[in-house]
Structure 1
Amino acid sequence: MLSDTIYPAPSSAELRKHFLGKHISDLPSPSVILDEAVLKRNCERMLQAPKTFGIDFRAHVKTHKLGKRRGGKLVVSTVREAEALAPLIKEGVVDDILYGVPLAPSAIPRLSALSSAYPALTISLLIDHPDQLTPLLKSIAPGAKQWPLFIKLDVGSHRAGIEVATEGFKTLLGRIRFLELETTGKVFLKGFYTHAGHSYSATNATEVFTLLSEEIKAGELAMFSANKEFGLPKESSRKWTISVGSTPTALSITTMTKDPESTRTFAQDLGSLDKRCSLEVHAGVYTMLDLQQLSTHAIPEPHSLGVKDIAISVLAEVVSIYPGRGEGGSTEALVAVGTTGLGREPGKEWPGWGAVSDWGMPGAGRTPKESGWVVDKISQEHGVLVEKVKGAGEKLKVGGKVRIWPQHACIASNGHGWYFVVGPDNTVKDVWVRWRGW
């Protein structure tokens, strides 16, 4: 595909040749480190909970941008991500992709080419405005495959989507219904998609679960409106898919599996859903987690998440130390990583742009802990560490390396071309190349 030429990836074989077996301290910096054991644990936690309740799961690949061997249903945020899944599509590992951005006309030719190249692949599209349908209709050729559509619902984040209780939503339903008839099913409404992006601002499990409930309710209301607009009788066999999620709201489902009473109550709630809908949950950053996710407290005590559950860290070199320069005479230090390698968002519960782990420091154990340093100021290629715990300054040396847990894994990882995957001995077990481009 053209995108492979425009966005050439480095050779995985060459990277492995140079770095396999190396200790973290010998790696170039800044680099992204993934703890393989933590990554697997995070994936299993997320996959098990929906399975307990018979809910389908759709993984979002926008965080890690990798084609590893877990497939089935996926969400992508760029056409490039969809195209890069080709090897797994060929193997039959991936057979259902949702393009998770309201459809732009420029995306249609590439998505059409991908769909045509793989007969067993289903690509669903996201719609939230009638005008998005016009170029799609023009693109449909004789003998072309179907285009399943999801209507993107706005459930409070006001980033994308349309609210159910609006005339615009009714108009969109009517337009899709007309196209279903006009195209004899080449374009058809499959369901409704919500993303509780505002759940990232939650501070406790109750808030997060409330948002999940609101997502499900919005999907049900949309389904009832569609039944009415499409003139479907109660005995109709047509089923709608309601796709809900975000990592916090999806994680809240795992809470339901920890307590028998919660499990029973949530199962009853799911059982009361209209039989004409199928529920699925989607999430992406659950694989790595980050400080932002920990701040939501989506999983309450005693099973709450901590820094030990963050699989991603950014390796950075200390280039200078400034004793007494900080507040109250505390020490500051300069590291050679900034916004381009660490991200742009400061946090709430954890101050600044990242927290430094105690990896490699005197007294560090096998389970990572906070060192007392945080990234308090940041520029393009540099960050300033400040000493939040008295005495932490004694642990850093010029030329030494630190591992920083980022606030937002999706943004932090985007500045890097590959991941160093490490085992419990802190040596590189593999190198995973990220997809680049759009």
Structure 2
Amino acid sequence: MAELSCLPTPSLVVDLNKVTQNCERMLQKCQELGVKLRPHTKTHKTLQAGEISTGNRKHGLVVSTIAEAKYFINGGFTDIIFAQPPSLNKVEVCTALVESISKFHMLIDNVQHLQMLEDTKLANGKQWSVFLDLDCGYGRTGAKWDSIKTFDLARLIHQSESVDLAGLYVHEGNSYNQTSTGDVTKLSDMTATRLLEFSDKLEKEGIDCPVKSMGSTPSCSLPTEIMSRITEFHPGNYVFYDLQQYYIGSCTLDDIACTVIARVIGHYPDRGHMVMDCGWTALDNQSQMSKCVTGHGCIVGEPNLRIDSMTQELGKISAINGKLDYEKYPIGTILRIYPWHACATASLHEVYHILLDGAIVDQWRPVKWWSA
């Protein structure tokens, strides 16, 4: 075990108690709603958090890169959705993944994707398992929920001899743009209604749709009544949470499990600021300054400090009200910073230092990059 003060700066610190608490709360929420939880790994990208988030079942995940898929399969996880519309080169890579575990699902949203899969045969007569990606209002990927072309695509999948329709998949990424819990729940009601309407239409035509998967951290942290009719949730950020989720209303500040630590390395009273050894290579630069009064992150326990700006390796800090008390923050002082976006911040670090009851007890190494 080591003290926090022994770590190099900048470093990413993950509070194990908070990760466990966040995961247990989401598992309990899903159990009460009668919904399966299929955690997305995109935020943490570690076997350890994968186990905690699945209740140590190592079954039922969503990944966003080939590297993640291989990493979690090699780590003993099964029933995985690769939640990215595929290109042909990725379909070819995924043939080995499909054949290596009992359930590996692709995400498709157009006829070209379907044709790629039908043209790529699997060994032993195995079928491709796919989720049809629906756009219920987000507008990024997905086939439009109210388009006849989307229904026709579902029919083609259903009729295919080499592809099986495992279910429908909706990412509610537009929930991140909401500014209140009321806005989130209103959006979730709309999304769930559209997903269920499309599913009902399929089933009336004799097209079985066994899984209806929907999710984002805001919507799953603040589920509405109609969401109990969804088969599974697939949130990801909730494992760590962050300032963005706090401002949306998904969590409290105390739920945020990851912080970046930095040290004060310079005082500049004539300019009204001090400098820390942490810039945008260690702390994400996505903060929306109009919402976040503390700037590019929030320094834990220091509500009057603001991270005004960051360059590659440095951050400039000033006082929100009054003058900066330099004597309170001598050079070498360690600061802990809640990030605006945990997913972006975690991706910048090759190791997470695991904090348990005030001491550093372990290191987690996330899978990096896109292919392996």
TM-score norm. by structure 1 comes to 0.78
Task: Identify which of 299, 305, 313 aligns with 2:259.
Answer: 313
Spell out, residue by residue over 1:75-132, the C-alpha distance to the aligned partner (whole angstroms, 9 max, x if none). 000011010013432xxxx3210011112222112221122223xx301111111111
Task: Identify which of 195, 201, 218 aligns with 1:248.
Answer: 218
Spell out, residue by residue over 1:22-63, the C-alpha distance to the aligned partner (whole angstroms, 9 max, x if none). 211110111100111111111111111010021111100010
Distance 1:270 1:332, change over 3 A: closer
Task: Identify which of 200, 206, 227 aligns with 2:203.
Answer: 227
SS at match of 1:203: coil
**TM-aligned CA deviation for residue 390 of structure 1:** 3.4
Partner of 2:320: 388
Task: Identify which of 322, 328, 350 aligns with 1:417.
Answer: 350
Hey, what's the Cα distance between the residues in 1 that align with 2:23 and 2:304? 29
Distance 1:141 1:111, change over 3 A: closer
Distance 1:190 1:117, change over 3 A: closer
SS at match of 2:70: helix
Partner of 1:86: 73
**TM-aligned CA deviation for residue 270 of structure 1:** 6.2
Hey, what's the Cα distance between the residues in 1 that align with 2:134 and 2:324? 47
Spell out, residue by residue over 1:151-183, the C-alpha distance to the aligned partner (whole angstroms, 9 max, x if none). 1111222111121112331342243234x2xx2
Q: Does 1:292 align with 2:244?
A: yes
Partner of 1:37: 17
Distance 1:51 1:205, change over 3 A: same
Partner of 2:292: 350
Partner of 2:128: 147
Deviation larger for 403-412 or 206-215: 206-215
Task: Identify which of 73, 77, 88 aligns with 2:64.
Answer: 77
Q: What amino acid maps onto 2:311 in structure 1?
A: S
Task: Identify which of 151, 169, 173 aligns with 1:197.
Answer: 173
Partner of 1:341: 282
Distance 1:108 1:54, change over 3 A: same
Q: What amino acid maps onto 1:47 in structure 2?
A: L
Q: Does 1:403 align with 2:336?
A: yes
Spell out, residue by residue over 1:339-364, the C-alpha distance to the aligned partner (whole angstroms, 9 max, x if none). 22111201343232211113xxxxxx
**TM-aligned CA deviation for residue 393 of structure 1:** 3.2
Hey, what's the Cα distance between the residues in 1 that align with 2:287 and 2:249? 17
Task: Identify which of 83, 86, 90 aligns with 1:100.
Answer: 83
Task: Identify which of 304, 315, 327 aligns with 1:372.
Answer: 304
Do the aligned partners of 2:99 and 2:123 also contact (CA within 8 Å) in 1? no
Hey, what's the Cα distance between the residues in 1 that align with 2:124 and 2:145? 34
Hey, what's the Cα distance between the residues in 1 that align with 2:306 and 2:114? 48
Deviation larger for 377-386 or 311-320: 377-386
Hey, what's the Cα distance between the residues in 1 that align with 2:365 and 2:354? 11
Hey, what's the Cα distance between the residues in 2 that align with 1:317 and 1:387? 17
Structure with max Cα Rg = 1
Pairwise CA RMSD: 1.9
Listed as ranges, the matches of 1:40-79 within 5 Å are 40-68=20-48, 69=51, 70=56, 71-79=58-66
Distance 1:419 1:224, change over 3 A: same
Do the aligned partners of 2:218 and 2:245 also contact (CA within 8 Å) in 1? yes
Do the aligned partners of 2:273 and 2:324 also contact (CA within 8 Å) in 1? no
Hey, what's the Cα distance between the residues in 2 that align with 1:323 and 1:424? 36
Deviation larger for 192-201 or 168-177: 168-177
TM-score norm. by structure 2 comes to 0.91
Hey, what's the Cα distance between the residues in 1 that align with 2:85 and 2:98? 18
Distance 1:248 1:270, change over 3 A: closer
Task: Identify which of 129, 152, 168 aligns with 2:110.
Answer: 129
**TM-aligned CA deviation for residue 407 of structure 1:** 0.2
Q: What amino acid maps onto 1:357 in structure 2?
A: V
Runs of 4+ with deviation above 4 angstroms: none
Distance 1:270 1:108, change over 3 A: closer
Distance 1:270 1:133, change over 3 A: closer
Partner of 1:209: 185
**TM-aligned CA deviation for residue 324 of structure 1:** 4.6
Using the aligned pairs only, state the percent identity. Answer: 29
Q: What amino acid maps onto 1:187 in structure 2?
A: V
Gaps in structure 1 of 5+ consecutive residues: 1-20, 257-265, 299-304, 326-330, 359-369
Do the aligned partners of 2:304 and 2:320 also contact (CA within 8 Å) in 1? yes
